[in-house]
Chain A
Amino acid sequence: DGGITQSPKYLFRKEGQNVTLSCEQNLNHDAMYWYRQDPGQGLRLIYYSQIVNDFQKGDIAEGYSVSREKKESFPLTVTSAQKNPTAFYLCASSFRQGGFNEQFFGPGTRLTVL
């Protein structure tokens, strides 16, 4: 079955540690996205990538980093510079031009920094 996987579902880290969230898709989508969701809030875009080896900052990129070495994978690193990292992180993918109004989302990773 095609889809997007994120792991782990729940993640706990100590303050000051970097942590990497995994996102893999087998939908053959060109574009991938990372969003952050806080309680009662909408989705805010962190980073996105439209093609391998290229990515752009979203609205709240500070304290985060990404890589796109493979079409299927778009890992997100939450660095110690992110002041309030506890949140629900959602990865999504879509076809590139003309189709990205429909994004397919993974199940999310809930990160708690203690």
Chain B
Amino acid sequence: GQSLEQPSEVTAVEGAIVQINCTYQTSGFYGLSWYQQHDGGAPTFLSYNALDGLEETGRFSSFLSRSDSYGYLLLQELQMKDSASYFCAVRGYSTLTFGKGTMLLVSP
């Protein structure tokens, strides 16, 4: 089976940097994805790491350490519109298993 742990809530101010951690236990691992979901909306894909290291996409970066079963999403230059829930998801052979999500609250 798969299990993922991520903090339930993180708060930060506009312009700051925030890191959302994700640890996982899995019986089959192909990579780690991150999704963003605004309240009541559809999740949208942010990033995917199959190999160890840092992937950067604009203000967002994602990191993976397969040996530590650990990854994180780094959000820089926070904006109010970044207030949302962020989910890490482990890719297995045919499916994704999602964590329970981290609600990010960005204040002015």
Within 8 A of A (CB), among B39-94: 40-45, 48, 50, 87, 89, 91, 94
Please, which residues of chain B bring their CB within 8 A of the CB of A101?
A: 30-31, 33, 48, 50, 91, 96
Please, which residues of chain B bring their CB within 8 A of the CB of A56?
A: 94
Interface string of A28-54 (1 = CB under 8 A from B): 000001010000111111001010000
Instruction: Report if A108 contacts B (CB, 8 A).
Output: yes
Please, which residues of chain A bring their CB within 8 A of the CB of B42?
A: 90, 105-108
Whole-angstrom distance from the CB of B95 to the nearest CB of chain A?
6
Residue count of chain A within 8 Å CB distance of chain B: 23
Please, which residues of chain B bring their CB within 8 A of the CB of A100?
A: 91, 94-96
A43 touches B45 (CB 8 A): no
Within 8 A of B (CB), among A64-81: none
Given the known interface contacts A41-B101, A43-B87, A101-B48, the answer about A33 and B43 at a Cβ–Cβ threshold of 8 Å is no
Instruction: Report if A95 contacts B (CB, 8 A).
Output: no
18 A-B pairs with C-beta separation under 8 A? A40-B8, A40-B101, A41-B101, A42-B100, A45-B97, A50-B94, A59-B97, A90-B42, A100-B94, A100-B96, A101-B33, A102-B33, A103-B43, A103-B45, A103-B96, A105-B44, A106-B42, A108-B40
